[in-house]
């Protein structure tokens, strides 16, 4: 069974440029998560989807970040414009549902460097 | 709010040594508790979990017991191997499943 797929794996851009990350969750997983992981820190939730609906985006900086999950399958996270402080690893995860006991399966992440 | 506090690293052990990585949590109600592991160059993967008090999660020789009285979920392994070198994250999911919190991670290096 294929795991969570993310692309690109690495991205280097100059500040003020836009950037987008793509995630394809495990087939059949209704819940999709985007996390931000700074160096030496644990992942921090940015947004959670149940199917195509964003049910928790309270931690998403909406002035520059946006996300979508059309058709409730794959998802895109966008930053426009990027700032130096956005350099981090962006993780996508999926689970069968959002019940507390459900395991989240993580993709390898996209490492973003903003110059 | 809910949170997870994890033992600072890095931790360096010799092969076959005993491992403990401490994790304590703050939560209302009865959260589920997890340990995730991140091997070099790979994504996080679930190592073990416990969903109620006194449950013991175990996998690959690792164990952790959900202790409500001490609000702890310490990770242990009796004899570590070089292949256990990775970053370990303690995590909490609140009872509703709406919030998920990770600790800061503990880097483990096992030397032959």
Q: What confidence tens digit (pLDDT) does each residue in A18-65 have?
A: 999 999 999 999 999 999 999 888 999 999 999 999 988 888 998 999
Q: What pLDDT was estimated at residue B19?
A: 97
Q: What pLDDT was estimated at residue B36?
A: 95
Best probe of the B interface among A42, A55, A107, by most B CBs < 10 A, is A42
CB distance from A25 to chain B under 8 Å?
Answer: no
Chain A residue with minimum CA distance to B103: A42
A98 has pLDDT over 70: no
Cα dihedral across residues B66, B69, B75, B77: positive or negative = negative
Distance between CA A102 and CA B70 in Å, rounded? Answer: 24
CB pairs under 8 A between A and B: 64
Distance between CA A108 and CA B71 in Å, rounded? Answer: 31
Contacts of B97 in chain A (CB under 8 A): 97-102
B84 has pLDDT over 90: yes
Q: Among A108, A98, A101, which Cα is nearest to A29's?
A: A98
CB distance from B89 to chain A under 8 Å?
Answer: yes
CB distance from B94 to chain A under 8 Å?
Answer: yes
Distance between CA A47 and CA A59 in Å, rounded? Answer: 7
B96 has pLDDT over 80: no
pLDDT grade, residue B1 (50/70/90)? confident
CB distance from A97 to chain B under 8 Å?
Answer: yes
* In contact, B31 and B25? CB cutoff 8 Å: yes
Residue contact A42–B102, C-beta within 8 A: yes
CB distance from A53 to chain B under 8 Å?
Answer: no
Characterize B66-79 residue by residue with b for buried, 16 or more Cβ atoms within 10 angstroms of its Cβ, and e for exposed.
Answer: bbeeeebbbbebee
């Amino acid at each position: 069974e294929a795991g969570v797929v993310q692309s690109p794996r690495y991205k280097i851009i100059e500040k003020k440029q836009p950037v987008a990350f793509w995630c394809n969750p495990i087939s059949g997983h209704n819940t999709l998560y985007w996390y931000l992981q700074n160096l030496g820190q644990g992942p921090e939730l940015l947004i959670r989807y149940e199917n195509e609906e964003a049910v928790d985006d309270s931690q998403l900086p909406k002035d520059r970040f946006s996300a979508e999950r059309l058709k409730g399958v794959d998802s895109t996270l966008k930053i426009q414009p990027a700032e130096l402080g956005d350099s981090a690893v962006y993780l996508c995860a999926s689970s069968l549902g959002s019940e507390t006991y459900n395991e989240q399966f993580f993709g390898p992440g996209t490492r973003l460097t903003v110059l | 709010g809910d949170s997870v506090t994890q033992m600072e690293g890095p931790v360096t052990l010799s092969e076959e040594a005993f491992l403990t990585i401490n994790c304590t949590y703050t939560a209302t109600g009865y959260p589920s508790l997890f340990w995730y592991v991140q091997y070099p160059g790979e994504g996080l993967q679930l190592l073990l979990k416990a969903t109620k008090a006194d449950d013991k999660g175990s996998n690959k020789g690792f164990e952790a017991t959900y202790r409500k009285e001490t609000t702890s979920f310490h990770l242990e392994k009796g004899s570590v191997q070089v292949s256990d070198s990775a970053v370990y994250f303690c995590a909490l999911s609140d009872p509703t499943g709406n919030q998920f919190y990770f600790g800061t991670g503990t880097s483990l290096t096992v030397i032959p």
